[in-house]
Structure 1
């Protein structure tokens, strides 16, 4: 009986356990059933959506690849050279024009090499570094001396005047556009040589014509002499044009022209020029208003610097209204001189401002004031002065201010044209180095 009771209890216990397991399984099934059915419902539409997104990304990649190829084709077709370097100045890509300009004979598409190994141009390398450091577009012009591995081609390899325009790109990369300006330079030089040769040829016949006109002047009576006098003026104008052109051509061919430097006192120099122009100033009742320190001495070429002030003051006189003054303001600026053995030391710069009371320059003319043969109003003739005169529309050969700039540059100075906000007239500002105040220093000897 005890054994039967034991097995009966065991069977009841097993039954209860099985029943509990069945109930637990049913309970878990009821709980998981919504989740399973929801997962099926979510999974079925997700696969097509993923497929659509993958297809869309692939299409975008193809579009980008096509755009990249289009841009490369455009750059290959462009007349400018283009190259791109990474953050370590390794050449990533360049078009055919850049390869031709820089003589990139050893580089192949897809090859990544240090740019300086391929192109021995420290100017280009410095431009790229400067662009990356400043994160601003830069422009530089220099003479490029290409190297050539093929000795047979060396006689045909010539130096080039290049202009590079660079721009910063993401991830430290830099893009550079290259322009070969050598053909333009050669054309300008050829033009200058042609004009110079023509000017040389014109000097002799013009001199002969002038001698004939002088002879006629002494033999003709009024009113016929009026036409001869007019002819003499035009001949003199042509002779002056030819001489000015030859002078300017020589200056531009040799910017560091031979200067015969002497020490001059600034106020005496300007007074001497004004005295030369006194007949014109008296006719228009003009006066000179000089302001600035006394006893300023400057080391210049006397003949050349006299020519500068003669031209500038003559222009101011021509285009100043009667009964006005021409201002000459002189001051000393402090600069920095790097020639000192001890490092940087202060250096004096002479600034001279010439201001008249005319109509001044037009804004459109200002950038071109110092260009050869430039006159603001193309309709004006050489034989008549305008009623409203301004320095920006000089009646003459159009070479005077170009010569003035070349002389100032040869002295290591600068000149710029503006309009004075007070008088509204033309304002010429000159800056020249090596000025000494109070006395004639032995350093200038």
Structure 2
């Protein structure tokens, strides 16, 4: 009886084992089929042959991926633009040589994983990474990166003396970063060196500034001579002199605008005279100045927002800002349509940040063209006339110098504010957003 029970148990065990092996092979074949070519005749091969074939194929794919990865790493390493990658804790996972050169990263310290802040003291870079990680969208940011280097005398007697006589020099470089979100909260950042463009722009501005200084005196002399001739001559000579006087005054205005722009950029703290200003009263006075022009097109102003907002600023300069913005809005506005000015306070969760106000100027026109938008605040840039000028407006509207919005931007920046131009998402017209601090900055 015991023998029968033994053989019966053995038979059941063998049956269970065979069944499990069969199910395992079927599952393995199904898995191989899902990863394989899917051809039925290959499934008829022995199981060990199928496994060997798939392992060979996986090994081939792994080598190809490693080769592609190495090619991309070599490409990034040789790229003329900097690249770095951080993990979710802002630890530097890797960077190319261009990034090391731009951010002054010590190659020896970057060989192991370390916090980016230990290697690069840049709040702007850190904020770009955090904003990219938070929004899960590509972000851009421009900033000036400051770093320190030490100058040593060439005729140093010893390392100790050289260290004592070394000179600490703070330098800066203009950078632009492009942040891209990656998997596992990682962020990749491309860094572009903008310093050559900045130096080229500064060289151009210095040259033009020197030229305007030299032109101011002879242009004033020509204007005085033309005024004297205008009173003494008769037509048609008088008409020619009048035309020459108008063009001369236009050049004088251009020269003065450029000098104002240069002064604002070089020393804003010396050009601004702060006082308390009620923003509604300022905008109302500007509109009264422009009302005769607005009445020709039957354009009206619609103001909304808190009329009691008071800020500290230069009344003359801020008048210049809104005079330019509202004048442009009138020129670009269709007849019998409204121009909207909206003011509001900006609330910040960080109590250490200064309180700010926002002023939106929106017209009812066709808005900025896509080609004009990136260059709205560029010096001497003249937008496409076809987008804004109505035919009847051309009869009494003169072309601008191309410096108006550049001066507006510089005045706003001198007040530690910000300005942006876009097309309004609902109204469709040109939309200029001005943000100004309520209180005078300590720097000013």
- Fold match (TM-score > 0.5): yes
Q: 1:105 to 1:53 in 2, by over 3 A?
A: same
Inter-CA distance 156–400: structure 2 relative to 1 (3 Å threshold): same
Deviations 1:374-432 (A, max 9, x none): 2222799xxxx872549xx9711011122123223433555555667999765555555
User: Which digits, 9 at most, give the CA deviation of each residue in 1:152-171, with x for residues without a partner?
Assistant: 79778832222222333334
Once the two structures are TM-superposed, the CA of residue 197 in structure 1 deviates from its matched residue by: 1.1
Task: Note if contact 2:149-2:169 (Cα within 8 Å) is conserved in structure 1.
Answer: no
Q: In structure 2, how many angstroms separate the alpha carbons of the residues matched to 1:421 and 1:50?
A: 59
- Quick check: which has more Rg, 1 or 2? 1
The residue aligned with 1:372 is 379
What CA distance in whole angstroms lies between the structure 2 residues aligned with 1:114 and 1:350?
37
- Match of 1:398, SS state, is coil
The one-character-per-residue Cα deviations of 1:234-253 (angstroms, maximum 9, x if unpaired) are 11111111111121122233
Over 3 Å counting, the alpha-carbon distance change for 1:197 and 1:379 in structure 2 is farther
What residue ranges of structure 1 are gaps of 5+ in the alignment? 1-19, 436-445
Q: The residue matched to 2:232 in structure 1 has which SS?
A: coil
C-alpha contact 2:380 2:402 (8 A) present in aligned 1 = yes
Deviation at 1:230, TM superposition (A): 0.7
**Does structure 1 residue 196 correspond to structure 2 residue 203?**
no
Aligned residue number for residue 404 of structure 1 = 408
TM superposition shift of 1:177 = 1.7
Q: Is the 8 A contact 2:330 2:339 kept in 1?
A: no
2:347 aligned to which of 306, 310, 335? 335
TM-score under structure 1 normalisation?
A: 0.70
Counterpart Cα distance in 2 of 1:171 and 1:267: 49
Q: Give runs of aligned pairs for residues 132-281 of structure 1, distance below 5 A.
A: 132=133, 135-146=136-147, 158-254=171-267, 258-266=271-279, 269-270=282-283, 272-277=285-290, 280=293
The answer as to whether partners of 1:261 and 1:300 remain within 8 angstroms in 2 is: yes
Partner of 2:77: 76
- Offset at residue 313 of structure 1 (A): 3.9
Deviations 1:282-336 (A, max 9, x none): 6x274654655767655432221222233334434545566x4764646554634
Aligned partners of 2:59, 2:198: CA distance in 1, in Å?
50
Instruction: Report the Cα distance in structure 1 between the residues aligned to 2:426 and 2:59, rounded to whole angstroms.
Output: 67
CA RMSD for the aligned pairs?
A: 4.5
**Separation in 2 of the partners of 1:266 and 1:120?**
39
Distance 1:140 1:331, change over 3 A: closer
Q: Using a 3 Å threshold, how does the CA distance of structure 1 residues 148 and 171 change in structure 2: closer, same or farther?
A: farther
- In the alignment, what sits opposite 2:108? 107
CA distance, structure 1, for counterparts of residue 278 and residue 118 of structure 2 = 55
Q: Shift in Å at residue 198 of structure 1?
A: 1.2
Indicate if the aligned counterparts of 1:161 and 1:182 stay in contact, CA closer than 8 A.
yes
**1:253-291 Cα distance to aligned partner (Å, 9 max, x none):** 345564212334556545544554566456x27465465
